[in-house]
A and B are shown apart, each in its own frame.
Chain A
Amino acid sequence: MEARRRVVSIRFIVTVVAVGLVSAGAVGAGLVYERNVRRVLTPEIEFRLLLEARNLAVRSSDALLDKYPEMVLHPMIKELQAQRPELAYVEVVDVEGVIQGHSQARLLGQKRTSRGLAIRKSGDGELSAGEQRLDGNDLTAIRVPIRHPNGQALGAVHIGLHRSYIEGRIASTRRAQMVVLAGILLASVLVTSGLMRGLLGPVRELRRGLDRIGTGQLDQPVEVSGRTELGLLAESVNDMAAKLKTAQMDMVEKKRLDYEMGLASRIQTNLLPSGNLTLGAFVVGGFYQAAAEVGGDYFDVFELPEEKVSVAIADVAGKGLAGCMVTSMLAALLGALRPRYSSPSELLMNLEELLAKKLEPGVFITMFYGILDTHSNTLTFASAAHSPTLVYRARTRSVDRYGTDGIPLCAAPGGMLARTLRDNQMFLEAGDLLLQYTDGINETFAESSDEEFGFDRVTSILSRNAQRGLGATVESLIDAVGEWSGSRAVGDDRTLLCISHERDVAAAGEKVAATVSALFKLPSRETLIDMMRPDAHLRLPAQLNALQALRDWVAGCVPLDKLGSEDRARVELVLYELCANLIEHGYAAEADDEIDIWWLSHASENSTGDHRARASKSYFVIRDSGRPFENPVVLRSNRRPVQHTRGRGLGLALIHAASEPRYFPDTPAGNLTVLQFQFEPTHHEQRVPL
């Protein structure tokens, strides 16, 4: 759990600051006031003292002329001192300095002793001739001469005043001031604290409200009224909560929709064929890229009995979920109709009949459907207003274009389709490649203009790449379209359907099978059947960067799936090294040629008779049409220890370490290399990892 954070209360801070400021102000004002009081009060008191002394001097002058001056002066001074306790002493002396008047009777008649006070030097305009001010540590005193009205000096009056009296007077002023200060302080604390409580009360309410929002309770508003900024803040918070609630609901809805779309997208992907279908010398496959999550394009490749393949490509007018739902319907109906029709046009008409009842008015479908007979190399097809079919002809090295008069499915009622649609037939010879596509390909806009990709570019790419086979053609076309549209969003689904009559796989395969069975004394028929299995063959362009395809083939090759991963790695490695050698030494860099690889599993099993611990032997036959090695020694084992090779010749060492290679240059089937592998039946379960 999160530890509770220490909170410093704003109320506390403001109160302390207010009190501090008030105190500082009051103390400052007090100091100034006290200074002024001292400045005014001290001369005032001293002046009073002077008046008192003068008064006493006047009153004493007659007494001093008496015979017994102390009789008058003693009671007078005693009374004076009783009334004014702040006076330290009051003395009246005669001209000889003898004390004639004092509050204490025992001092009368004695010589006055000096108290050691200093005469104040600073000028004092108030003093008359003969008058003196004197200062001591704790006394301030005054001396006033007593004169007879005729000017004769009779004596002097000395009055001393306790300095503490002045301080006492100032202190009493200060005390009053302290009381006022304390009152102001108390009032400021109370007022500030009360004010802050009133102002900050809503903050607590705001905090509670924000806590509620934090935990997702967006319905309960923050109730802060008032016209301070906090009231406005509360309004903003409530406003925010309302917007959050809307956004949250939108998000939930969007997530739900995303989920649904994802689901739809998966369903649609599942409707499409995965991977290419190889049947005999034909490879059939396609490509699909949706514009939105799901789209209205569809293609299908399906193996029919009697070495036939049905192919279809369709574009529903309408994208997104609606289009996707129609394609789903189309897929289901096609699945049901495929086996029942040998005529593509009849199938399309039937499909329209079934769909027309279900579709919204205005929704129509363009569609191409064909049945490929791999035995007779013919394609029977019909096109309901779909894009022109392009066929690369190996013989003429040109592209033929097949248009159509058919109208789209569900575009017009009343048997209009039947009147425009008909079956066509074409031959696909070795090396020919048929391409069908939806308008998302040819109508793709350029990145920064409204120029379409166009049929001519499609045709030209087909013409340039068809010789490289189906995969390369599809890839080049998709790359080119992607490059054309650049960063522009994919506006329409992009879908391709491709049928390739691989140049001479069948023919080459037959020749190779005959040669291998003769060389290794294998039963020729079984060898041929083995090699003709679609999975057991791989054709690669004779280029080093094409060798990555070996991995997928070895991994996906059905006959190899019983091997452990280590054996598969071994097979891939040896095939890689061998092909790399053939490409580097046998082909010129710019050569546009191919290497064929076959896997012969059944033949190998015949070659061993020991049933108890049967280690199965397998063959890979590699055919290349490059320059044969002049010296077949090249494929002979390199006996030098590996550490002396300095990295060269390692490929050959690898081939020999993992297999038994044999090289047959210039056979009727081309240059053949046969790799013989020995696999332990269940070794991948027993073997301890390296």
Chain B
Amino acid sequence: MSQSFEIRDGEHCDGVATFHLNGRLEAQEATLLRERCFEVMDEGVSNVIIVLSDVSFVASSGIGCLLVLSEKTGAAGGRLLLASPSEAVACVIKLLNLGQLLEVVDSLDEARSRFMVGT
């Protein structure tokens, strides 16, 4: 596992959990991320924001994890928002045409505001 990978918890409020990722999102990191998200979802949070601006690389396993999280939050009546994806992330999402499956917004503020108005 890349030593530089880091998941920073943002604020967990109003039923929205925020995670800032930093580094390379590969298989092992994806497992970590999934576990962390499942943990907060077990606590009743169903809306999750993942900030991807500092992700330098994302492998298919990382994308797979995001898809699973998207499905899981949806099943729990919430949503997964991906905020400010880095070029590497944007490239993969585009290549796989996942724009319709994964909800991507330009910034963390925008992601928050979407949850605020509940659209």
Contacts and interface: CB of A to CB of B under 8 A. Distances in A.
18 contacts: A544-B27, A572-B57, A573-B88, A573-B95, A580-B27, A580-B59, A645-B64, A646-B68, A647-B63, A647-B64, A647-B65, A650-B64, A651-B59, A653-B96, A654-B60, A654-B63, A689-B87, A690-B91
Interface of B: 1-2, 24, 26-27, 56-61, 63-65, 67-68, 71, 85, 87-88, 90-98, 101
B90 A690 contact: yes
A566 B87 contact: yes
| Nearest 4 pairs of A and B residues by beta carbon | A647-B64, A650-B60, A651-B60, A690-B90
Given A545-B1, A643-B101, A647-B68, A657 B95 contact: yes
A577 B59 contact: yes
Nearest to A655: B60
B87 A654 contact: no
A651 B26 CA distance: 11
Given A551-B56, A570-B95, A653-B60, 20 more contacts: A544-B27, A573-B91, A573-B95, A577-B60, A642-B97, A642-B98, A643-B101, A646-B67, A646-B71, A647-B61, A647-B63, A647-B65, A650-B96, A651-B61, A654-B60, A654-B63, A654-B92, A654-B95, A690-B93, A690-B94
A245 to B, nearest CB: 45
A642 to B, nearest CB: 6
A658 B95 contact: yes
Nearest to B34: A647
B23 to A, nearest CB: 10
Main DSSP-derived SS at the B contact region: helix
A569 interface: yes
Contacts of B64: 645-648, 650
A548 B65 contact: no
B87 A657 contact: no
Interface string A550-586: 0100000000000001100110110011001000000
Contacts of B90: 689-690
Given A573-B91, A654-B92, A551 B57 contact: yes
Contacts of B59: 573, 576-577, 580, 651
A573 B27 contact: no
A690 B98 CA distance: 12
Given A642-B96, A650-B64, A690-B91, A576 B57 contact: yes
Interface string A441-480: 0000000000000000000000000000000000000000
B101 A642 contact: yes
Contacts of B97: 642, 657
A355 B101 CA distance: 70
Nearest to A650: B60
Contacts of A647: 61, 63-65, 67-68
Contacts of B85: 690
Contacts of B93: 690
A544 B1 CA distance: 9
Q: Output the residue of B64, B91, B94 with the most chain A CB within 10 A.
A: B91
A642 B101 CA distance: 9
Interface in A642-683: 642-643, 645-648, 650-651, 653-654, 657-658
Given A573-B88, A576-B57, A642-B101, A650 B63 contact: yes
A547 B60 CA distance: 14
A690 to B, nearest CB: 4
Given A642-B98, A654-B60, A654-B96, A566 B91 contact: yes
Nearest to B30: A647
Nearest to A574: B95
Contacts of A580: 27, 59
A485 B64 CA distance: 43
Interface string A83-104: 0000000000000000000000
B52 to A, nearest CB: 12
Contacts of B71: 646
Q: Output the residue of B63, B90, B97, B98 with the most chain A CB within 10 A.
A: B63
Nearest to B59: A576
Contact of B24 (A548, A657, A690): A548
B87 to A, nearest CB: 6
Contacts of B24: 548
Contacts of A653: 60, 96
A654 B87 CA distance: 16
Nearest to B88: A569
A277 B26 CA distance: 30
Contacts of A689: 87, 90
B2 A548 contact: yes
Contact of B91 (A547, A551, A569, A642): A569
Contacts of A651: 59-61
Contacts of A545: 1-2
A438 B26 CA distance: 39
A689 B89 CA distance: 12
A617 to B, nearest CB: 18
Nearest to A570: B91
Nearest to A580: B59
Nearest to B98: A642
Interface in A62-110: none
A283 to B, nearest CB: 24
A654 B2 CA distance: 22
B62 to A, nearest CB: 9
Contacts of B88: 569, 572-573
A645 B57 CA distance: 21
A657 B96 contact: yes
A651 B91 CA distance: 14
Interface string A620-658: 000000000000000000000011011110110110011
Contacts of A544: 26-27
Contacts of A547: 26
